[in-house]
Amino acid sequence: MKQRVEIVKRIMDSNDRLAQNNQAVLYRNQVYGINLMASPGAGKTSVILETIKRLPATIKLGVIEGDTAPVTIDSDKIAAAGIPAVQINTGGECHLDANMIELALAQLPLEALNLIIVENVGNLICPAAFQLGTHANVLIASIPEGDDKPYKYPNIYRGLDVLLINKIDLSPYIDFRMDYFQQGVEMLNPGLKTFALSAKTGEGFDAWIAWLTDKIITK
């Protein structure tokens, strides 16, 4: 058991060093990086596409797409919107890591970008453990998932900088106790910046875009 613990520690230490290097690359190119996490079906790609539509023209975005299988459905959607995108196939791994991001960054025109969004693999456990070198960890929680997720998956909520509550247009049709959900979030991450929005209707996106724009260094 001790040997296994030491191996895991070496892996995590190596990942953290690579993550620091990735962040240095982003700083050097004045690019703000976001690690976007969520469970499958929460609406990561839909939120990215709506964000693309609403970002000021001065902000130039690149996207890194992570998938467990060699499919390009999401990256094709991003590319069709005129945004440079890099697809990462994790080979079945349930998360992205700093080494994968290092390779993806080398394929993006960083000198021409202000913002990079990393769409992590759909999972509420694995991504929480691996730093990527981005500036902010953002989680999308969606109304259909239920209001108990902070209680069932506490680790991913503890490490967040921003929480997006997606699909609020479905609130009238789903038994989702917002006060119960937010109470769970507050216990884990007091004062967490939260935006309730709908990628389908666009409701709530103005506040999210304003926060995002404020964080970005415009070249």
Q: Which CATH number is associated with domain 2-215?
A: 3.40.50.300
Q: What is the pLDDT of residue 140?
A: 98
- What residue ranges do the domains of the chain occupy? 2-215
Alpha carbon of 77 to those of 45, 63, 91, 199: distances in Å? 8, 11, 21, 15
- Is 0.85 topped by the overall pTM? yes
Q: What is the pLDDT of residue 90?
A: 87
Core vs surface per residue 68-81: b (16+ CB within 10 A) or e: beeeeebbebbbee
Q: What is the pLDDT of residue 26?
A: 98
Whether 12 has a pLDDT exceeding 80, the answer reads no
* Lowest-pLDDT range of 69-73, 111-115, 188-192, 204-208: 69-73
pLDDT > 90: percent of the chain: 83
Whether 6 has a pLDDT exceeding 60, the answer reads no
The confidence band for 2, taking pLDDT boundaries of 50, 70 and 90, is low
Give the Cα separation of 11 and 60 in Å (integer).
33
The confidence band for 73, taking pLDDT boundaries of 50, 70 and 90, is confident
Residues 6+ apart with CB under 8 A from 144: 41, 167, 170, 174
DSSP labels for 5-32? HHHHHHHHHHHHHHHHHHHHHHHHTT-E
